[in-house]
Structure 1
Amino acid sequence: MSFSGDNLKGFVLALLSSGFIGASFIIKKKGLRRAAAASGVRAGVGGFSYLLEPLWWLGMITMIVGEVANFVAYAFAPAVLVTPLGALSIIISAILAHFILKEKLHQLGILGCVMCIAGSVIIVIHAPQESPINSVQEIWSLATQPAFLLYVGSVIALVFMLVFHFAPRCGHTNVLVFVGICSLMGSLSVMSVKALGISLKLTFEGNNQLVFPETWFFMLVVLTCVITQMNYLNKALDTFNTAVVSPIYYVMFTSLTILASVIMFKDWDGQSGGSIISEICGFVVVLSGTILLHSTKDFERSQSFKGSNYAPLSPTLSTGLCSATAEFMKFDEENMPPSEEICKRRQELY
């Protein structure tokens, strides 16, 4: 498939965005480590000392640059094209975590990285051309169609359930809770970012969209979603291993974003069945790559426990993601249970 000019711009911007965002995970994790060491209170249990850590702010600036590039990319290209390219951020994050955070990446993790790239290429090749939009009112009509309103209502209900019911009970032992909140809110933020980006693009082209209240409404939704994502992503990164958070966040966020985009912007309307199947197959390859990346991370950790009487701290993917997987799951020494109790809990996992 030959790219249109707008699709090519979106493609390049999405690649740059993934590079910055992937690096930001590592920089922020380093900042969270320093802040926790200095204050003794981790972000995962409600601490906010990372706000005084310059390295964390550097990671935030890096992420903001990546998000700005991503924001502009959505104004030019469909979400089905832009979002899957986030797989590059997983690869960058995993490689940097291996060398900087000393979170070892198994050799098979390289295969997972290659699969992520291959799947993204398949999706890019078969990505649809976006239908032209001439005003924010057109976007508003898409956002208020019954199917998308049903999706939005479902997302909001799930987020409230995760925040108020599951997060207090198992947020620090189940990686899906914090990451699920980020991903659900992320799918709404992408739709709003795309709407706002198109509005600003039209404004810069001479068709002022800032006079319409819909533009400001989309901006409010973006701010609300981004603040929520930032809060719970910090909790996830501080509680769980980066090599676990990054791929799971990518899988959930991308799946939900593509679903939301297909419902709202009707990305697959007009595409042949073959192209849609190819995109789905490409996405399955990406999912497989991220799962392999996560599984080999656990495999590498379990190897280091061979010959000991202790079970690995992180269960494999087949046993579920319901227990802690990060070396940061440590509180102050006076809050730690006796070593015999720790061993018993580890054995109960298996």
Structure 2
Amino acid sequence: MEKMANSSSSHVFPSLTPALAHRTEVLENPLQTYLLGIIISICGNVLISISLNIQKYAHVRQAQRGSKPYYTSVMWWCGVVLMGVGELGNFAAYGFAPASLIAPLGCVSVIASAIISVVFLKETLCASDIVGGTLAITGTYVLVTFAPHTSTHITAHLVQYYAISWHFLLYLFIEIVIFCLLLYLYKRRNMKHIVIVMLLVALLASLTVISVKAVSGMITESIKGQLQLIYPIFYVMFVVMVASCAFQIKFLNQAMKMFDATEVVPINFVFFTASAIVAGIVFYQEFEGLALLNIGMFLFGCLLSFVGVFLIARNRPKIKQQDRNFIAMNKIPGRRHTDKVQPEAKTTTYGSLAAKLMCNRSGQTDDS
């Protein structure tokens, strides 16, 4: 009778149990689940690096041939598919391991990409690449060793309990204020500094990490037999995940247009990792009960990974696009100079065939 009373009370008052039952519920074998999340994340990041190099090779080959667009290449589409599989692996990894661990493992993608580009794309190997790779691998080993080794069941009741906690609401309020201030400086004051753009991406990334882990964890629990998709909090987190990812990609693409990839990649990795760690600490309380030595060594491992990624990305080939507001003089018939000119957008011949003919004629008269 006592068991029946307890079970019936848990069905009648399900909202009273999250803080006690779900928050302290630890997986029965956390080590296997923990290692599974690490392996899935590493494999996903390796696939992402392979896909990026395949797409890069497809772009180079299509540019040499100069016949068809890159999206008609089967190799390019293979790279896209591999990237999708890799991102899916990262998504699944959040359901098995803490977010503060999965995010720093993104340096595996940078290391693998550097190795693949040297071996297959015949890019030069510098001393800083070796030092950076060594530091990144060492940092990854250290942070994996000292990261939190326990993980709770991510259920709908637990996510709802975390979402209305005072520390997360305070964190969300501060993040919204900072985001609005940065957006004002970026849009209204026209401050196009790389730090401002990357901070906008990082603030969105923190919401992405929170929502991705919530959605992935609830899907994992549903697959295990405890259906979580019937709760509204699942769809709220799903909408937050999609929206934050979309705006994050938007600002990241703007940064790639304004700055070189060798600047964007390491700064984005550092800011994204830092925001993911803070999000895991504030929302999921992943560092609760962790010893100070573990926290210090975990942060030290992250620092080694940051330095290693900066050293690797510093010597990568420059792929920044040329400014489209200017026309290279050596691209105009009849001109042999390497200077650039800016066309007048208000003229009727701007960008037309007549403009090229006029430049050609003026070049012929100058030569004569």
Scaled to the shorter chain, the TM-score interval is 0.7 to 0.9
Of residues 233-242 and 120-129 in structure 1, the stretch that sits farther from structure 2 once superposed is: 233-242
Residue in structure 1 matching 2:268, options 240, 246, 249: 249
Equivalent position to 1:282, from 291, 298, 301: 301
Q: CA 1:104–1:242 in 2, change beyond 3 Å: closer, same or farther?
A: farther
1:70 aligns with 2:85: no
Q: Which amino acid aligns with 1:284?
A: L
Partner of 1:206: 225
Distance 1:195 1:262, change over 3 A: same
Say which is worse superposed, 148-157 or 218-227, in terms of deviation.
Answer: 148-157
Q: Deviations over 1:264-319 (max 9, x none)?
A: 11111111111111111111111221232344x28xx8xxxxxxxxxxxxxxxxxx
Structure 1 position 118 matched with structure 2 position 125? no
Matched, 1:265 2:284: yes
Counterpart code for 1:89: S
* Equivalent AA in structure 2 for residue 232 of structure 1: F
Counterpart among 3, 8, 12 of residue 39 in structure 2: 12
Structure 2 counterpart SS, 1:266: coil
Is the Cα–Cα contact under 8 Å of residues 133 and 139 in structure 1 kept in the other structure? no
* Structure 1 residues 178 and 102: CA distance shift in structure 2, 3 A: farther
Compute the TM-score of the two structures, normalised by the length of structure 2: 0.70
Is the counterpart of residue 139 in structure 1 residue 132 in structure 2? Answer: no
Q: Which residue of 1 aligns with 2:173?
A: 153
Change (3 A) 1:152 1:33: farther
**Of 10, 18, 21, the match for 2:48:** 21
1:123-181 Cα distance to aligned partner (Å, 9 max, x none): 1011212342362111121122222223223333444444453268354xx43344333
Is the aligned partner of 1:176 residue 2:195? yes
**Using the alignment, how far apart are the partners of 1:247 and 1:214 within structure 2?**
34
C-alpha separation between the residues in 2 aligned to 1:8 and 1:179?
A: 31
Q: Check conservation: 2:62, 2:70, Cα contact below 8 A.
A: yes
User: How far is 1:50 from its partner?
Assistant: 8.8
**Residue matched to 2:322:** 329
- Answering whether residue 243 of structure 2 is matched by residue 224 of structure 1, we say yes
Q: In the comparison of the two structures, how many residue pairs are matched?
A: 304
1: CA distance, partners of 2:202 / 2:109: 15
Q: Which amino acid aligns with 1:195?
A: A
The equivalent residue for 2:350 is none
Aligned to 1:267, the other structure's residue is in SS state coil
Equivalent residues in 2 for 1:283-322 (5 A)?
Answer: 283-295=302-314, 297=315
Contact in 2 for aligned 1:262/1:268 (Cα 8 Å): yes
Tell me which residue corresponds to 2:13. Answer: none
Distance 1:31 1:332, change over 3 A: farther
Q: Give per-residue Cα distances to partners, 1:9-41, cap 9 Å, x unaligned.
A: 10110101111222344455677889999xxxx
How far 1:90 sits from its partner (Å)? Answer: 1.2
Unpaired runs of 5+ residues, structure 1, are 38-48, 302-324, 343-350
Find the counterpart in structure 1 of residue 211 from structure 2.
Answer: 192
Query: Which residue is equivalent to 1:314?
Result: none
Q: Which residue of 1 aligns with 2:363?
A: none
- Distance 1:265-1:247 versus aligned 2 partners, 3 A rule: same
The aligned counterpart of 2:114 is: 94
What TM-score, normalized by structure 1, do the two folds share? 0.73
d(CA) in 2 for partners of 1:127 and 1:229? 27
Q: 1:187 Cα deviation (Å)?
A: 1.8
* Structure 2 unmatched ranges of 5 or more: 1-28, 330-336, 342-368
Instruction: Mark the CA change 1:219 to 1:327 in structure 2 (over 3 Å): closer, same or farther.
Output: closer
Correspondence 1:233 to 2:252: yes
2: CA distance, partners of 1:55 / 1:157: 44
SS in 2 for 1:77: coil
Preserved CA contact (<8 Å) 2:194 2:259 = yes
Q: Radius of gyration: which is bigger?
A: 2
The answer to whether the 8 Å contact 1:98/1:104 transfers is: yes
Asked whether the equivalents of residues 9 and 76 of structure 1 are also in contact (C-alpha less than 8 Å), the reply is: yes
Q: Kindly tell me: are residues 107 and 277 of structure 1, through their superposed partners in 2, closer, same or farther at Cα, counting changes over 3 Å?
A: same
Residue 224 of structure 2 aligns with an amino acid whose one-letter code is E
